[in-house]
Structure 1
């Protein structure tokens, strides 16, 4: 289980992350499964989906806020790190999440996915269409529905 890794447990104990129920992650997994996949099954087929490729910024602060504002996920209070079906996810505040994508997915091989989430009181409101695919290196590809290009 990926969230049992030390770095994730540290975030959970510090309050930087919260555990998200498996059913929310599994619904996202089914959503992504319904999208076009590459012929080799190694990630989504972005030639058939409008996407915006963004290289993760190496800096934070104002630059990160500006960078994030060009994506739909910036509308959400939190970002969920999805690992796989049948496993809990974690959610972190959006700016923290984008700054720590690589660390969150450390030890998780292959393409990985994040999606938006809003929390009101104790209720979770996932935004499955506010998502991105992470290539495991430095790029996120966001679903392009309302980008300010």
Structure 2
């Protein structure tokens, strides 16, 4: 079963709150992430310009302000990636960042999301505009 088939995500897809993002988008994003330096279980942020926010103490206003200054904040929509071999979810940026715990509820480990734009052919990734979360903090490329 794909992550997007989880019982908590199905209603959002059916209601149109999120759209299913093609596997191609996740592979493009994953390929970009693999081009960067990695630690054993997550991206090595050393050498990247980023902002880090402690999600356990941040309110919605702080979160929105910090996201707006990061590169993902330049996009109206984001791709929520679960694995490179499964579809992800594309949704409104504010909906995504306000609901990271919900969107990644059953996804283990560090999780990654990136900016997407919409053109005549559908969603297009901007994989360099990304963020990482472990549920307690959000790291975003500046």
State how many pairs are aligned.
Answer: 140
Shift of 1:66: 2.3
2:12 & 2:121 partners in 1: Cα distance? 19
**Structure 1 residue 124 and structure 2 residue 123: aligned?**
yes
- Is the CA contact 1:24–1:126 (under 8 Å) kept in the aligned structure 2? yes
Shift of 1:120: 3.4
**Structure 1 residue 37 and structure 2 residue 38: aligned?**
yes
Q: Which runs of 4+ in 1 moved over 4 A?
A: none
| SS of residue matched to 1:81 | strand
Q: Quote the residue 2:114 is aligned against.
A: 115
2:10 & 2:58 partners in 1: Cα distance? 24
**Structure 1 residue 86 and structure 2 residue 59: aligned?**
no
**Structure 1 residue 143 and structure 2 residue 141: aligned?**
yes
Q: Quote the residue 1:147 is aligned against.
A: none
Shift of 1:85: 1.8
| SS of residue matched to 1:67 | helix
RMSD: 1.7
- Is the CA contact 1:36–1:48 (under 8 Å) kept in the aligned structure 2? no
2:52 & 2:65 partners in 1: Cα distance? 15
Shift of 1:71: 1.0
2:119 & 2:84 partners in 1: Cα distance? 25
1:17 & 1:127 partners in 2: Cα distance? 18
Gaps of 5+ in 1: 145-149
| SS of residue matched to 2:51 | strand
